[in-house]
Amino acid sequence: MAATTLIQTAHKIFSLKGVFPAITTPFNDKQEVYYNKLHDNLQYYEKLPFSGYLISGSNGEVAAMTIDERLQVLRNVRQSIDPRRMIIANAYCESTRQCCELAKTLARHGADAILVMIPFYHRRSLSEEAVLAHFRVVADSSPVPVIIYNNPGVTGMDISVDTIIKLAEHPNIKGVKDGDVAKIASIIKEVRIRGFDFEVSQGAVGYFLQSLVVGASGAIAALPNILGREVCHLYQLYKDGKIDDASNLQLKLTRIDELLKLSNLGVAGMKGALDVVGLYGGPCRLPLQPLPPQQLKRIRDALVEEDLL
């Protein structure tokens, strides 16, 4: 299998255009990865016009998974989806050396690109030089393109536009996932001035249309787990120039996205929402707790009110 996936990866053109759901990792009641349910969810997702998938991200509970589990999830996803679709695998590790080794391993097992986040345990000691060194060294060693994952809500560090532009100079750092529309606009402006081969992806569907308008390529986000058809439709409406229709749909999606995000429902909220829409959410890994029934009702009611359920 490894040889086949490497050949597929080598001939795949890197692009962040379109919608990439940051999929959850299903667990059973014994806290084990539930591969059958992962396959079932993917069979539904494969009917939608996704460009690919992000696996083992924050939404995939990467901090609670072993390396072996992350690789097994990657292998299962690779076997379950259309080989033309990209797999972005999170290569998060707390040391640059570990991240380099994991990047190579992920590529061998079928990842088309890797997502790299700042190692944040020692964030108070990380200068800009340290951040630049981490991403550049990983990019030097990675067989597949690197995407910067700017996630200040997790890392406690917000990578500046200047730092991202410096990283964009590297030939193997091909994009960034960010959620700040103003920052996205600034990055795109600078990238265009310099002529870099570098794409920007929105990390929150609540700001998807705004980001497309300023030049984002697409979205790598959690909401497509439950509303993939609608998020892809929004993307197509924008491409077709139907901005009024896209705006109306954006308002509906923003309410759900903000409910899940601003209420701090987190992964438990997304997994509860998956159960509501008829896919498999299931439990989170401890110490994350299940969603309280009243919060699950809020999600269901909001989906019904917006005619999304």
d(CA 81, CA 88): 13
d(CA 218, CA 48): 15
Question: By 3-state DSSP, what share of the chain in percent is helix, strand and coil, each rounded to 5?
Answer: 50, 15, 35
DSSP β-bridge partners for residue 199: 175
- Ordered DSSP codes for 239-305: HTT-HHHHHHHHHHHHHHHHHHHHTT-HHHHHHHHHHHTTS---PPPTTSPPPPHHHHHHHHHHHHH
Would you say 205 and 27 are in contact if contact means Cβ atoms under 8 Å apart? no
Cβ partners under 8 Å of residue 137, min gap 6: 96, 100
The candidate with the shortest Cα–Cα distance to 210, out of 192, 233, 184, 187, is 184
Tokens of residue 32, six digits: 């084990």
Would you say 235 and 17 are in contact if contact means Cβ atoms under 8 Å apart? no
Q: Which of 37, 174, 177, 252 is catalytic?
A: 177
Determine the Cα angle at 206 with ends 39 and 119, to 5°: 70
Is 177 a catalytic site residue? yes
Tokens 């050396």 sit on residue:
97
Residue 102 host element (H or E):
helix 96-108
d(CA 224, CA 16): 15
d(CA 183, CA 214): 10
Determine the Cα angle at 80 with ends 232 and 308, to 5°: 30
Residues recognised as catalytic: 177
